[in-house]
Structure 1
Amino acid sequence: MEWITTTDIHILFGLHHLAGPHMDMFMTWFTTMINTIWLWAILAAGGLWKRQSRWVTISIIVAVFLAILVGDVAIKHVVMRIRPYLVIPDAPTLATLKYPISYSFPSGHSFFFFAGATVLFRFRRRLGMAAYGLACVVAISRMYLFMHFPSDVFTGAVLGILIGNIAWKMCGYAKNRLSY
């Protein structure tokens, strides 16, 4: 386990070579936006409102709900990994952000975004590819801000893809059953 943490720390500091005022400003804005619950509520309401996007929206909601249950409720409390900014003495943090104190493994943001991107990819490939791109930016932002180790982010992404596929299959099955 120690070699994973050592490798994670080297990657974090390597990634932080991108740091500068513009990147810090972007990461602050980006993190604030992805954590704005009303934005996601409006997008979900819009998706549920339109008939042609209703099932994809329901499937994404199911995927995110499953990701919360698996990642935040179960795995984080079993592994109990402390966040990098708390364990690395010289970890750079941004004073403009409120840093979470919950456990680090796996990255919930990576988990949620990759789960949602996977569902979207299963319904609409081009839109799904754009969503995967957004999920990658989310994953990089979590590491750049020293909120997660790279192994937290990687595991969150892999689990997100797995849960996204499960949610897509579950919702597809439910849709077919309701169609009869």
Structure 2
Amino acid sequence: MIISKSRLYETDIHLFHLVNKHHKWMMPMHVITHLGSAPMTVLSLFFLLFSSKGTVFMTTWAAMISLITSHMIVRLMKHYLPRFRPYLTVNESNVISNPLKDHSFPSGHTTAIFSLCTPFMLLFPSYAIFLLLLAIIVGVSRISLGLHYPSDVLIGALLGFITGAICMITIRLILGV
């Protein structure tokens, strides 16, 4: 089954409106979205680097490498695959008061939170559901605030998850853990 590019775009717009139309979400989402920001993810990892040891320390390094790697990939994708943010192109979109000016694809916040959470989901399976929900909520916040299309968030989540998993597996293989 082949799906046309226009059909994918229509689906993206429809899903965007489903999430973005709820104005009441904007205030809590405005806070939640910062969990995927560069300052929050980097500070969280530095805190863990200086306060942990053993497997948590090793996992923190995997998350740090994943965050750096995925950020470089996001920057390249935003440069070579430019896409205007939905608040600039979609009628009747709700957006926060100080919107971003760079490109939309993929979502950097979503990529960051998934690249940080994935190694810890692999280390602590009992916390995987909580960490996955946290990462998903950050992604949904990006749509809710009018800053990303659902496909930006989906690709960001996949990129962060894959990068996090590869970094965690690689570090475990190198260290023989």
Query: TM-score, normalised to structure 2's length?
Result: 0.86
**From 64, 67, 87, the counterpart of 1:64:** 67
Q: Which moved more, 1:25-34 or 1:53-62?
A: 25-34
Q: Is the 8 A contact 2:66 2:163 kept in 1?
A: yes
Change in Cα spacing, 1:171 to 1:153, as seen in structure 2 (3 Å) is same
In structure 2, stretches of 5+ residues that fail to align are: none
Q: CA separation in 1, counterparts of 2:19 and 2:170? A: 37
Indicate the residue corresponding to 1:3 in structure 2: 7
Render the CA deviation track for 1:30-73: whole Å, top value 9, x for unaligned: 23454371x4444223311221321111111011111111122x
In structure 1, stretches of 5+ residues that fail to align are: none
Change in Cα spacing, 1:32 to 1:164, as seen in structure 2 (3 Å) is closer
**From 70, 78, 81, the counterpart of 2:80:** 78
Change in Cα spacing, 1:69 to 1:93, as seen in structure 2 (3 Å) is same
Indicate the residue corresponding to 1:141 in structure 2: 141
Q: CA separation in 1, counterparts of 2:162 and 2:26? A: 32
Question: How many aligned residue pairs are there?
Answer: 171
Indicate the residue corresponding to 1:45 in structure 2: 46
Q: CA separation in 1, counterparts of 2:161 and 2:37? A: 21
Percent identical: 24
Query: TM-score, normalised to structure 1's length?
Result: 0.85
Q: CA separation in 2, counterparts of 1:77 and 1:107? A: 13
Change in Cα spacing, 1:76 to 1:67, as seen in structure 2 (3 Å) is same
Secondary structure, counterpart of 2:12 in structure 1: helix
Q: Does 1:129 align with 2:132?
A: no
Indicate the residue corresponding to 1:18 in structure 2: 22
Q: Which moved more, 1:54-63 or 1:85-94?
A: 85-94
Q: Is the 8 A contact 1:119 1:128 kept in 2?
A: no
